[in-house]
Structure 1
Amino acid sequence: MVYLSRIYTRSGDGGETGLGDGTRVPKNDPRVCAYGEVDELNAVLGLVLASVPECPEAVLLESLQHDLFDVGADLCVPLSESEQAGQHLRVTAQQVARLEAAIDRLNAHLEPLHSFVLPGGSPAAAWLHFARTVCRRAERAVVTLQQHVPINPQVLIYLNRLSDLLFVLARVANDNGQRDRLWKPGQFREGEPPS
């Protein structure tokens, strides 16, 4: 359990922060950047839920917020060769499988796409598309981290699957894709868009 008695500690005033294992690193360390992007994604999901109370799959979205704290906890504790199973909170294949089951369940009711979807439509869909792009940025930050140090491979898989789920959720929020606005390649190359 997490216990916070003080909010400020002054320990980060010099531009460093502490990882979950006590190691001090600069605040722009690739590991800190990666879990910072995950934190931003979690905040965007909070905006979805706060801004659109009737958002479909609200319970699922809240469960994703809990998962994203698990992702951040995983990333903030470096892997060690001597780590024992269960010693630290790590993202699991079961969490990824839960995302895949949700994607399959929700996508089964959607018409196949014949073009890319423009972000937008309903307010919930617009927020979910924004969350998807933040998720992709978090995924890229984790790839950067992975190029420097070993990480739990389930973290990257989880974020990859989550971005897919957020895309599907955006379509669900657009009346199961009925309000999706599709990209029309090159439509406005020759002149102004219609007014």
Structure 2
Amino acid sequence: MKLFQRGGTHRAMLSSKAKAASIATVAALALSALLFGVTQSFAAPAPPHPAQNAALTLSPSVGALRLGHPLVLTLRTTITGTDTRTSEADLAFPADKFNCGQITIDPAAWPVVAEKTCTPGLVKIAVGTYYGPKTGRFDVATVTLIPKATGPATIRFAPSSMVISDATQTNILNSTNTGHYTIRR
């Protein structure tokens, strides 16, 4: 590049080789951008993830109970579109209507038990497996509650309940049911 002065102003003058190199660089960048844009417009869209759903249910979900006679609930999960290795099923129940009983988890199905507690008004169960992910329908636990007062009682899954997708590591729980019971003498 040469500098020259005309009328007090300095200007840069490119040699013809430098001009040709600059034009070639700009043309290569423009062509790359054009090809990238064309390639992107013809690229196949990424396949969508299959619908990942999980439901937690308690059974029985309706019943007439007798005071002092145990209510045995089976907690189940149903998984579609993915697998899971971990599940947390937390039940909220009226502490004035029930006492905690027993929680049973099948160790063959869930060899990892992170939590298994019952406090007045809340059962917390967190289980996992390292044998391989689960899909389909399976039992999480059996929970026994003892009715201690008469009247209507509702048992529901607490908001802390979750089922974690093995593929995305996100909570895929989107459905639960609620139990409605009447306790009599």
The alignment's TM-score, normalised by the length of structure 1, stands at 0.20
Q: Please give the TM-score of this superposition, normalised by the length of structure 2.
A: 0.21
Q: Could you say which structure has the higher strand fraction?
A: 2
Larger Rg computed on CA atoms: 2
